[in-house]
Structure 1
């Protein structure tokens, strides 16, 4: 039996909040203590409050400039280090938080880095102890310097989607009539190192198609304040007419996806949440397609929009009568929790 330990989780981006919420609960149910830090970027703070996750907020978003990103990473790692020395966690766990890995290594704490996209830059000057990733990604795809790689069943979104129970009246909160065709859209991650500007052009064309379709309501979810301002400027006429709506505060992503007739995104978590729930999901991501998305395409859970001809031909903008499936992967969460405890057993607490 695994001895109870303190585990440090770092919420580095907004999708990490719903992902780690059941992991935190699961670890606490098994007797472990969880200490959470978070970075104040996008909607991390609001979503952490929404999920009831107490946290210490350290750092912010450092923009798209590569040098600024590196300087911000080092600065945040140095901010985290004294807190880590004070809290004395046994293990550091994140979904690709570079600053956490750097701070943990300085403090001599073993690290688990979770990822679901093999082309992410994990070029650290030191060794990662463990990488957890979906089984769709082959080990040979990972070039990072790590000691152990473990591939879990399902996808990241299967950690929390199977436990989802629809309930919140999202459409009522947004004053949208239920008979309208709900098109939920999330722009491409323009500050990511893997961003391709083609995604933005494709995304704009999908907006135009959705706007031209009768009885649609476009719910737009900008990733940051700059995107919000750009969308407001470019699509002011749709916002003024009520054709497009940008929620004023953070909303439950799964509830919104569940009440949508289709979801279109520049890649990332939300479109895979739709795939996990069986909602029609379309990605205009134009970077290197990862193994997880390819697996979702092969199983019919996701459609990739790679050129302009695909937009009108492949995207069906209509009322959804039922889910296509979904709620798979119920074994993903317990498998991850079991493996975390195996790592804990392998690494005795670090003396301070």
Structure 2
């Protein structure tokens, strides 16, 4: 066996679990030691346990006030520093986790982050991360304009969602479990993240208009995936063809049985695009380069104005088999790169 390495992955949000699960599984199968930490937010610890990568629960979410987010984030950094003591970690990996980046920076622990939306707050990542993975679709000038050091940049091709959609096998029994009529159109809606720092109210208006239109179409069944502690769209649950989820489900399975996926965030709409399911993004903040490219390729439609809602058409998918565009290439790329960076560190070199 090759040299054993020790990795630490920090899970801050639900999509992180899906991204890291196949990577951590591959690393463990290769004989490496893997630690995970989870933030107590939006069922992240429970989801991590469900996918078999549960670990220590460290820290919480800071709410929707900026000062609270900063203070709670700093507190989490200190908690992560204490947790990591004595574990001899060769490489720490986060998906835009600022508390991890700060903790590692203060501990002088080699760490890498990944993000696929260039308009997030990245100053802490730019300063404290040793390496930063960004999709090749994001123009260099967008990154350097926001202070990203060019020498820290590492590029990857494909969607980060393809790390796990490439090894995904759908469970179509969910259709029966949710008591959905297979003869009617099924639309899944993930409302916008109203607590996120990048939230724009126009997205709420667009989603309200979409739900109003669906309520008038009895041939459409809508699954409304409300976000944790957000009741913005609850009034629409009074309509017989709009329902919330009666129990937790895997998002990919829900996408696989849907005829259309509408999301005010990024991850689920890109998952749908990766699986070949009609995808509509109602995100109205600063548009990221990845979604712009998917729109150009016809793999998703950007709905950025309430007037654009009229352009959305729902059709019954005759073929429910999901596409598998990348297979395991994206997953294998990240596994190999994380091993390479960890080995460089262990050998006393932090050059990428």
- TM-score interval, smaller chain: over 0.9
Q: Counterparts of 2:106 and 2:267 in 1: how far apart (Å)?
A: 30
CA distance, structure 1, for counterparts of residue 183 and residue 43 of structure 2: 29
Alpha carbons of 1:197 and 1:120: their partners in 2 closer, same or farther (altered >3 Å)? same
TM-score (norm 2): 0.92
| Structure 1 segment 194-209 matched on structure 2, within 5 A | 194-209=198-213
Shift of 1:18: 0.8
**CA offsets 1:257-305 (integer angstroms, 9 cap, x no match):** 0000000010310010000000000011101110100110111100001
Measure, in 1, the Cα distance between the counterparts of 2:46 and 2:215. Answer: 29
* Correspondence 1:1-352 to 2 at 5 A: 3-124=3-124, 126-142=127-143, 143-146=146-149, 147-225=151-229, 227=230, 229-232=231-234, 234-238=235-239, 241=240, 243-313=241-311, 315-322=312-319, 326-330=323-327, 331-348=329-346
- The separation in 2 between residues aligned to 1:325 and 1:254, in whole angstroms, is 10
CA-to-partner distance for each residue in 1:321-350, whole Å, 9 max, x for gaps?
136974112311111111111211221279
CA RMSD of aligned residues (A): 1.9
Q: 1:127 to 1:61 in 2, by over 3 A?
A: closer
On the 8 A contact 1:7/1:91 being kept in 2, the answer is yes
In structure 2, relative to structure 1, the CA distance for the partners of 1:336 and 1:189 (3 Å cut) is: same
Deviations 1:230-255, CA, capped at 9 Å, x for gaps: 332x22412xx3x2221143311111
Comparing 333-342 and 46-55, the one that deviates more: 46-55
Q: How far 1:85 moved relative to its partner? A: 1.1
Aligned to 2:283, the other structure's residue is in SS state coil
Cα distance in structure 1, aligned partners of 2:282 and 2:127: 34
Measure, in 2, the Cα distance between the counterparts of 1:248 and 1:87. Answer: 40
What count of residue pairs does the alignment treat as equivalent? 343
Question: 1:116-158 deviations in whole A, cap 9, x for unaligned?
Answer: 0011111128342001122212333223444421111201111
TM-score, normalised relative to structure 1: 0.92
Deviations 1:57-110, CA, capped at 9 Å, x for gaps: 111221111001000100111111111113231111010000111111222211
Give SS of 1:37's match.
Answer: strand
User: Is the contact made by 1:46 and 1:250 (CA closer than 8 Å) also made in structure 2?
Assistant: no
Q: Deviations over 1:189-243 (max 9, x none)?
A: 1111111100000011111112211222111112212x1x3332x22412xx3x2
CA contact (8 A) 1:170 1:256 kept: yes
Decide whether aligned partners of structure 1 residues 285 and 161 sit closer, same or farther in structure 2, where only a CA change above 3 A counts.
same
| Contact preservation (8 Å) 2:172, 2:256 | no
Following superposition, the deviation at residue 308 of structure 1 comes to: 2.2
Return the alpha-carbon distance in structure 1 between the equivalents of residues 106 and 191 of structure 2: 36
The Cα of 1:50 is off from its aligned counterpart by 2.0
Instruction: Show structure 2 runs of 5+ residues with no match.
Output: none
249 and 144 in structure 1: CA distance in 2 versus 1, 3 angstrom threshold: farther
Once residues 119 and 61 of structure 1 are traced to their aligned partners in structure 2, the CA distance between those partners, rounded to angstroms, is 20
Q: Write the distance in 2 (CA, Å) between the matches of 1:84 and 1:46.
A: 21
Could you tell me which runs of 5 or more consecutive residues in structure 1 were left unpaired when the two chains were aligned. none
